[in-house]
Amino acid sequence: MRTLWIYLNLIFWTLLFGLSSFFTILITGEKKNFKFFGVIWGKTLAFIFNVKLVIKGKERLQNSNYIFAANHASLIDIPLLFVAVNRYTVFIAKHELSKIPIFNAILNRAGFIFVDRKNNDSAIRSMNYLLEDIKKTPRSVAIFPEGTRSKDGNFLQFKKGAAIFGINTKIPIVPIAISGTYDWSQKKLFDFSQSIITFEFGEPISCKNLTYDDRDSLTQRIKDSIKSMKID
């Protein structure tokens, strides 16, 4: 029942703010307007779910674009990440989301990129498209290196997409440790006590002098950084 309640709230508020951003971007032509709606979306859900968001390490960031790489353990990770980052950021999303008609239109309009994890050639084409698009409209990119949500809160195997994208674009990678969202997702139906969820930003990792041969070590470095900051 709690899962159903979470899904219903996520669907309703995602559609409300998603459609609002869709038409705003359609009218203004400015994809950056998605940032405003993304932050309000996250803050609204934090209020409804009685979540206190704690943000650490953000002083490490400068006023530039980054690749944000975070662990992923719950449905609320994405909206809260918009609040924590608070800058124009698009996600590299799994291909399955592109099959949902309304969400497909909203995310496409905002500049999100869908990656088919089962089709390597398609994934490469998607990443190359994003690479070229970023040159036209600079922005930060967020990615969950695990590729999907962890079912038990433990780390899954980190895929190399974030590392390869950082190497190709030379955009610094910022590891983000998300703590508390898995415990929040496991609460009982009528447990409305406040949950504390922490987003800690790690030291940006420069990709300037890295090559494709460094993808494995860079992926491990991202994982180690997130693991060292994660509270639970």
Per-residue confidence (pLDDT) for residue 132, from 0 to 100? 76
25-29, 74-78, 208-212: range with lowest mean pLDDT? 25-29
Q: Is the pLDDT at 127 greater than 80, yes or no?
A: no
The 195-201 sheet, strands edge to edge: 51-56, 195-201, 173-179, 67-70, 140-143, 89-94, 113-115
CATH 3.40.1800.10 fits 2-229, yes or no: no
Per-residue confidence (pLDDT) for residue 130, from 0 to 100? 75
Per-residue confidence (pLDDT) for residue 122, from 0 to 100? 64
Q: Is the pLDDT at 158 greater than 80, yes or no?
A: yes
Confidence of residue 57 (pLDDT cuts 50, 70, 90): very high
**What percent of the chain lies above the pLDDT cut of 90?**
51
* Contact status, residue 53 vs residue 176, Cβ threshold 8 Å: no
Q: Which residue has the higher pLDDT, 192 or 56?
A: 56
Extents of the domains making up the chain: 2-229
**34-60: average pLDDT:** 95
Q: Is the pLDDT at 200 greater than 80, yes or no?
A: yes
Per-residue confidence (pLDDT) for residue 231, from 0 to 100? 82
* The model's pTM: 0.89
Distance CA 149, CA 158 (A): 12
What are the contacts of 112-120 at 24+ separation with CB within 8 A?
A: 115/161, 117/147, 117/159, 119/95
Confidence of residue 23 (pLDDT cuts 50, 70, 90): confident
84: Cβ contacts below 8 Å, ≥ 6 apart: 53, 55, 58, 176, 199, 201
Per-residue confidence (pLDDT) for residue 139, from 0 to 100? 84
Per-residue confidence (pLDDT) for residue 117, from 0 to 100? 65
